[in-house]
Structure 1
Amino acid sequence: MRLYPEQLATHLQAGLAPCYFIYGDEPLLKQEALDTLRHTARTLGFDERTRFDADPSLDWDDIFSASQSLSLFSQRQIIEVHLPEKLDKTASERLRELLKQCHPDLLLLVTGPKLNQQQQKGAWFKALSAAGPVMPVFTPDARHFGRWLAQRLQQHGMSADSEALQWLAYAFEGNLLGVNGEIEKLALQNLPQPLTLPVLQNLVQPHHQFNPFQLLDPLLQGKVKRACRILLQLRTEGIEAGMLCHLLARELSTLQQLQLGLQSGQSFAQLATSLHVWSSRQSLMQSALARVPLAKLQQLQAMLAAADRAIAAFDDDEAWRWLYSICVGFLDERLMVINP
């Protein structure tokens, strides 16, 4: 059963499941989900909590011992297992064994990082999915961030007009921890409602936060203005130009192989499968292919090579200029004059 953070409160009205798996890269939503489950469990008599980090040094027998023992002061207990980026074969097998030990006086809370599609096909993930709800927690994307902010404001007894909400979404995109802190501060000030743009601009300091992968989707969609804004913010946050070159090289290579395959008469579905393009990204790739022909892709790759040479020469400013030009290059089909 897949469960989303906004559904958790309703789900818990029917009672606790024996096991929950919370995974993803959004720390605020992950922590809030854990806190909600812990609080609910405490009201039901789960007074003892033990945490284990499933790194290579973990002795899994310690978890099994804890799961089968009860203290004099508690008849019900919570065991939390925090998974690493990758789970080796031994850890996968022991985790599946542990899931078989669940009983009514034991609540198992398992957390993990963001998982790719291959990891979600693993036996351990399937076992967790069968044992109880699986909850992915991700930062809302730009399309849904405004709605998330409106709901968060409402939880604190506040609202904002459309202009103020749009500014707040722009000012804190990708940074839920930051905007949640600001909302909590605003709630303490008993401000007139709805909040307006001048009020927010006077009281709130913007703080965007992006990761390098968030640069790719706007480029594929042709949303160049947004991509350039993300690029500039990534530089401000200290992301290295070399990392972005690596990501862009992989994306451009995939696009070029797709274009060449389409020109040779192959179907997009066949090409996407052979190139391991995730189903969730196929529509983005198709959008880019319709807008960026092969000749343009070759130009963008030449510009990327120029950025790589600038990095090798320790000319960071030049590298970032080329990266900005690459972003602009996704705008339309017009070819550009370049001097790599």
Structure 2
Amino acid sequence: MRIKSNQISNYFSNNIPKICVTYGYELLINLEINQKIRNYVKKHGYNNRVILFVDQNFDWTELESQVLNLSLFESKKLIEIRLQNNKLTKFGSTALEKLTSLDLSNVFILITLSTFDRKILASPWYKAIEKKGLMVESKPIDRFMLPEWITEKLAKQKQIASKEIIQLIVDRVEGNLMAASQEIKKIGLLLPQGTLEFDDVVKSLKNVSRYDISDIGHAILDRDRERFVKIVNTLHIEGQAPSLILWAIMQEIRVLLLIKIKIEEGSSAAKAIADSRVWGVRKKLLPRIVFLTNKPEIIKIMNKGHQTDLTIKGLIKEDPWCSITNLGLFIIGIIDRKTLPSSA
């Protein structure tokens, strides 16, 4: 069965599937969906949690072993399978298909996709799980829906904002949902419940931090090494999660790759950029870069990003923040070698 992310509460109030797959284009919504699912299944006794990070070197026999073998101290188990790459090996696809035939009476399986490609909907393992499990798709929040989304998030903090305040936040985050969530949390921490005053919101957003994660992509696309390093160091000092910094960097690369694919399929550059939901400063910077980078370079960047991801997860012994900084400088180096015109 396939449902949309906003149908989760109704579904889980009456059902607990044995397998659930979550996917979509928006990281923040995916994270929120997964947390909701964890909360629901925990209420039904799935208190023991195992996380399996699936990359090219993953041993798929580990999955079946985790499903079939409960320890003496486990009654029910939540197994999270985090697919780092949607292109599974034949063995991996078979292992996921086989889940539907295993005894899952004491196991709940949550499969999450780190990136999303619609071709996956036609894969054998997806079709097999869809027949017996639950598939949850998170739709992106476009710029026209963003004001309503921000209003709802503020309301959960028991704060009421005028249209002017909502528009201020929309303009500040330029369509970046993760950045919008950060700004909303700042307002919740600094300002009281009730009706918000415009000047108070402006002051709180300016004073909390010089930078947020949405600034990282701007600095990279603008080839500003010094600013990029300052942003990373500032966010590090402020306690920002390195996984979110990596997401902000790789999001720019994923968008760049998506645009290049659309152009190869026959779209004009302008239409490809518009269809890829590029706004604000990015809309000015990306057209200069699209034709000056090639797919092998982008794949190199994706691979280096994957190595940084493994470092953050502790699977590679290296300082995560050094790895993030090196990744950003590596990307800027590729762009800069193309002798782009100044963005000024």
TM-score by length of 2: 0.63
How far the C-alpha of 1:232 sits from its partner, in A, is 5.7
How far the C-alpha of 1:194 sits from its partner, in A, is 2.8
- Aligned residue number for residue 100 of structure 1: 101
- Structure 1 distance, partners of 2:140, 2:168, is 18
Give the letter for the 2:138 counterpart: V
- Aligned residue number for residue 241 of structure 2: none
What's the secondary structure of 1:167's corresponding residue? helix
- Structure 2 distance, partners of 1:182, 1:313, is 35
For each residue in 1:40-63, what CA deviation from the matched residue of structure 2 results, as whole angstroms up to 9, or x when unmatched? 222211121111122222222221
What's the secondary structure of 2:61's corresponding residue? helix
Give the letter for the 2:162 counterpart: D
- Structure 2 distance, partners of 1:61, 1:197, is 57
- Structure 1 distance, partners of 2:147, 2:270, is 21
What's the secondary structure of 1:50's corresponding residue? strand
What's the secondary structure of 2:58's corresponding residue? coil
Give the letter for the 1:316 counterpart: L
- Aligned residue number for residue 55 of structure 1: 55
For each residue in 1:64-97, what CA deviation from the matched residue of structure 2 results, as whole angstroms up to 9, or x when unmatched? 1111122222211111111132112221111101
- Aligned residue number for residue 132 of structure 1: 133
- Structure 2 distance, partners of 1:173, 1:94, is 41
Output aligned runs, 1:17-56, within 5 Å: 17-56=17-56
1:220 has 2:309 as partner = no
- Aligned residue number for residue 255 of structure 1: none
Give the letter for the 2:130 counterpart: S
Q: 1:164 to 1:312 in 2, by over 3 A?
A: closer
- Aligned residue number for residue 324 of structure 1: none
- Aligned residue number for residue 8 of structure 2: 8
Q: 1:78 to 1:314 in 2, by over 3 A?
A: closer
How far the C-alpha of 1:314 sits from its partner, in A, is 4.4
1:143 has 2:144 as partner = yes
- Aligned residue number for residue 183 of structure 1: 184
- Aligned residue number for residue 310 of structure 2: none
Contact 2:147 2:170 in 1 (8 A): yes
- Aligned residue number for residue 341 of structure 2: 317
How far the C-alpha of 1:165 sits from its partner, in A, is 0.7
- Structure 2 distance, partners of 1:107, 1:135, is 15
Q: 1:162 to 1:66 in 2, by over 3 A?
A: same
- Structure 2 distance, partners of 1:129, 1:123, is 10
Output aligned runs, 1:60-139, within 5 Å: 60-85=60-85, 86-139=87-140
Contact 2:292 2:338 in 1 (8 A): no
Contact 2:49 2:78 in 1 (8 A): yes
Contact 1:160 1:195 in 2 (8 A): yes
Output aligned runs, 1:118-267, within 5 Å: 118-191=119-192, 193-205=194-206, 208=214, 211=252, 212=255, 219-220=270-271, 229-231=280-282, 235=285, 241-243=288-290
Contact 2:186 2:205 in 1 (8 A): no
Highest CA radius of gyration, 1 or 2? Answer: 1
* Identical-residue share of aligned pairs (%): 20
Q: 1:167 to 1:67 in 2, by over 3 A?
A: same
Contact 2:23 2:116 in 1 (8 A): yes
- Structure 1 distance, partners of 2:336, 2:49, is 51
How far the C-alpha of 1:198 sits from its partner, in A, is 2.4
- Aligned residue number for residue 224 of structure 2: none
Q: Structure 1: 5+ residue runs without aligned partners? A: 248-310, 322-340
What's the secondary structure of 1:49's corresponding residue? strand
Contact 1:146 1:166 in 2 (8 A): yes
Contact 2:51 2:80 in 1 (8 A): yes
- Structure 2 distance, partners of 1:58, 1:155, is 40
- Structure 2 distance, partners of 1:150, 1:4, is 21
- Structure 2 distance, partners of 1:231, 1:222, is 10
What's the secondary structure of 1:150's corresponding residue? helix
Contact 2:84 2:115 in 1 (8 A): no
For each residue in 1:103-136, what CA deviation from the matched residue of structure 2 results, as whole angstroms up to 9, or x when unmatched? 2311010011333232221112212322322122
- Structure 1 distance, partners of 2:59, 2:282, is 43
Q: Structure 2: 5+ residue runs without aligned partners? A: 218-250, 263-267, 295-334
How far the C-alpha of 1:221 sits from its partner, in A, is 10
